[in-house]
Amino acid sequence: MFVPAAVGALFVVLPLVAMLTRIEWASFGTLITSDSSRAALALSLRTSVASTVLCIVFGVPMALVLARTEFRGQSIARSLVLLPLVLPPVVGGIALLYTFGRRGLLGHTIEVLGLQIAFSTTAVVMAQTFVALPFLVVSLEGALRTGGQRFEEVAATLGARPTTVFLRVTLPLVLPGLASGAVLAFARALGEFGATITFAGSLQGVTRTLPLEIYLQRETDPQAAVALSLVLVVVATVVIALTRRSRTAL
């Protein structure tokens, strides 16, 4: 087991090491503090936080329904919820565009109301939520099924209302799973590229997130692209480390 495990670890670590060897450390600070780089990083963090909140708001009820109820077509519903996991992100972006774009299924009606979603910061958040939501649902549904319903049933027999059972019993029991799902959703949103560029475009300060900035810099300034890639790796690593620490504390 150690040999294939070591090979797998090298497969993940070596590309990161190779990236580090290509960075010009003397100009690293200048590369990552340009106006476009700072705007892209700030936009990525804001939209990723917003999409993570939306994933929690919608994902928790979805996971509860899938884990705690039985209904006809449940397997189909679960497959549809998890579909963005296997879809190429650009396909998700096209689907969002034809739904909320100016000539989309709902976009025309929304535009009549004076709102335009496509190619806006809102579109970035929606694209990130679309691809990140299944990560939270999968993680939380697994935690709910593993935890079972024993404590919930005991609380219900003692007269606790469903809302009280959820807030006082269910939520504390699955909090580590919820935290894990939230960080996975955040990390996925932070690295989202395909759906964002298809549905939101690449407008500096409006829709150009850090992955898009890295892609554009790769064509014009490879050193800046490598430096920004390292920033993205560091941010993702810090988020994962903080989440593991919080899970250990729980």
In a domain, 121, yes or no: yes
* Residue 225: inside a domain: yes
Q: How far apart are CA 173 and CA 227, in angstroms?
A: 41
Q: List the single range of 66-70, 72-76, 104-108, 238-242 with lowest mean pLDDT.
A: 238-242
Q: Is residue 228 part of a domain?
A: yes
Residues 66 and 78: their CA atoms lie apart, in Å, by 7
CATH number of the domain enclosing 49: 1.10.3720.10
Distance of CA 8 to the CA centre of its chain: 24
User: 207, 176, 209: which is closest to 191 by C-alpha?
Assistant: 209
Count of structural domains, the chain: 1
Cα(107)–Cα(79) distance, rounded to whole angstroms? 26
Which structural domain, as residue segments, surrounds residue 204?
Answer: 31-249
> Does 22 fall in a domain?
no
Domain annotation covers residue 66 = yes
pLDDT at residue 51, rounded to an integer: 96
Q: What is the pTM of this model?
A: 0.89
Whether residue 49 is contained in a domain is answered as yes
| pLDDT-derived band at 23, boundaries 50, 70, 90 | confident
Q: Is the dihedral of CA 25, 36, 90, 140 positive or negative?
A: positive
Q: Could you read off the pLDDT of 31-66 as tens digits, one per residue? A: 888 888 899 999 999 999 999 999 999 999 999 999
Q: Please check whether residue 209 lies inside any domain of the structure.
A: yes
**pLDDT tens digits, one per residue of 195-233:** 999 999 999 889 999 999 999 988 888 888 999 999 888
Does residue 79 lie in a domain region? yes
CA 206 vs CA 44, 98, 219: distances in Å: 10, 21, 21
pLDDT at 112 over 80: no
